[in-house]
Structure 1
Amino acid sequence: MNKETIEQLIKSLKKNRIEAIHFPSKKELVDYFIDNLTPNLTVGTGDSLTLEQIGLFDLLRKSNINFLDKHKKDITKAEKSKLYRDNFSSDIFLSGINAITLEGKIFNLDGNGSRVAPIIYGPKKVLLICGTNKIVRNDDDAISRIKNIAAPIDAKRLNKKTPCTKTGKCEDCKSPDKICNYYTIIQGQFDRERIKVLLLDGEYGF
């Protein structure tokens, strides 16, 4: 992704009252993240292959914080449900992004709402980590990316019995396994200090 495109996106996000920081390398992003972790913080996360690829889940487990770890082994359905609710009162909530437009609009898709809901409201701070592969031109491209790239891959990863896992694109199904239930578009915020976008050079997530 060229420098001019990233600068354009950062300016657009700023106009929407959302701060964005660009990191050329994974190490620089991780170092920034470590510098912002203070003891006893409560940190929650949404499902995110990006966070996993960067190594943030393992980092959080080793840190002196209260990590609401929904990915730990042998977690029960009841325990996970409680963590979903606890995310709303976390100090920091981490998530990826499905698509982000050059106009500074942030698009996400969710199956049960446990990821997009805390992004919008609840946690004191939200850090959205986004590989530059998620940058698209406009709203139509964002929806297309979600329907024909992100959602089919995620549904297949989760072993969902949906048509898109076979065709590789959205079939607008009504399957009970459908993960395309909640679309959100963030195009601004009242508290300009709450949501922050961390842009990372490279292909992360899907």
Structure 2
Amino acid sequence: MDTVESVLTNLRKNRIPGKCFKTSRELFGYLGSFLFPGCTAGAGDSVTLEQLGVYDYLRSGNCVFLDKYTEGITKNEKRALYLANFSADFFFSGINALSQTGKIFNLDGNGSRAAPIIYGPKKVFLLCGTNKIVPDDEAAVLRVRNTAAPMDARRLGRKTPCAKTGRCMDCAGPERICNYMTVIQGQFDENRIEVLIVEQDLGY
């Protein structure tokens, strides 16, 4: 059994469905079978979603995209979108690490991504490349702390120690982006969260 198949098998054991796609075109074909005219869709901040073109896909479709990247959006308007995500039909996010044990690891700064993944939107799609797959839970935590977080801190221009050193220094300053770490190891509604793996290196 190869690595991806092993992950998908263990996700299913944890009541989390998953699929693997060779290309983004295959991915969008699958997503198109769910999205319907007038549906609402939100999304978390994700380099993976940007690289795959998910944001543009949602903007160009028939759904109402709760787009926090709208030019000129105010802080209050963005907060309203964050709250609207909880009642959206769909929510999209990336994954920081996916263990072969079938567990999903994510890090969040203000909770606006982690919270709607866990509760709220009717359907959640979590997307990642094969580079996010790690052997076990310990490796997942290390990947989140020493790969995903430092690279994201640099991308966001944060003045954190990890942005300089490239690894977690367990800081406690106001610029810290790793305030919330979530581990999804199962779900109550076995069809709500779905993991979609694309056979590419994506994001951090």
TM-score by length of 2: 0.98
Q: Pick one of 56, 74, 81 that aligns with 1:76.
A: 74
1:96 corresponds to 2:102: no
Task: State the alpha-carbon separation in 2 of the partners of residues 177 and 183 from structure 1.
Answer: 16
Partner of 2:57: 59
TM-score by length of 1: 0.97
SS of residue paired to 1:35:
coil
CA deviation map 1:33-83 (0-9, x unaligned): 223221010000000111111111111111111110001111111110000
CA displacement at 1:19 relative to structure 2: 0.4
Q: Pick one of 123, 126, 133 that aligns with 1:125.
A: 123
Letter paired with 1:7 = E
Partner of 1:147: 145
CA deviation map 1:162-181 (0-9, x unaligned): 01111111111111100110
Partner of 2:109: 111
Query: Which ranges of structure 2 fall in alignment gaps of 5 or more residues?
Result: none
Task: State the alpha-carbon separation in 2 of the partners of residues 82 and 133 from structure 1.
Answer: 33
Aligned-residue CA RMSD in angstroms? 0.9
Partner of 2:165: 167
Partner of 2:189: 191
Query: Which ranges of structure 1 fall in alignment gaps of 5 or more residues?
Result: none
Task: State the alpha-carbon separation in 1 of the partners of residues 164 and 94 from structure 2.
Answer: 25
Task: State the alpha-carbon separation in 1 of the partners of residues 32 and 55 from structure 2.
Answer: 12
Alignment of 1:37-56 (within 5 A): 37-56=35-54
Task: State the alpha-carbon separation in 2 of the partners of residues 7 and 152 from structure 1.
Answer: 29
CA deviation map 1:93-138 (0-9, x unaligned): 0000000100100000000000000000000000001111000011
Q: Where do 4+ consecutive residues of structure 1 move more than 2 Å?
A: none
CA deviation map 1:142-170 (0-9, x unaligned): 11101111000101111111011111111
Partner of 1:203: 201
Task: State the alpha-carbon separation in 1 of the partners of residues 191 and 199 from structure 2.
Answer: 23
Percentage of identical aligned residues: 57
Aligned residues: 204
Which has the higher mean CA deviation after the structures are superposed, 63-72 or 28-37? Answer: 28-37
1:14 corresponds to 2:15: no
Partner of 1:26: 24
SS of residue paired to 2:20:
strand
SS of residue paired to 1:27:
helix
Task: State the alpha-carbon separation in 2 of the partners of residues 24 and 66 from structure 1.
Answer: 27
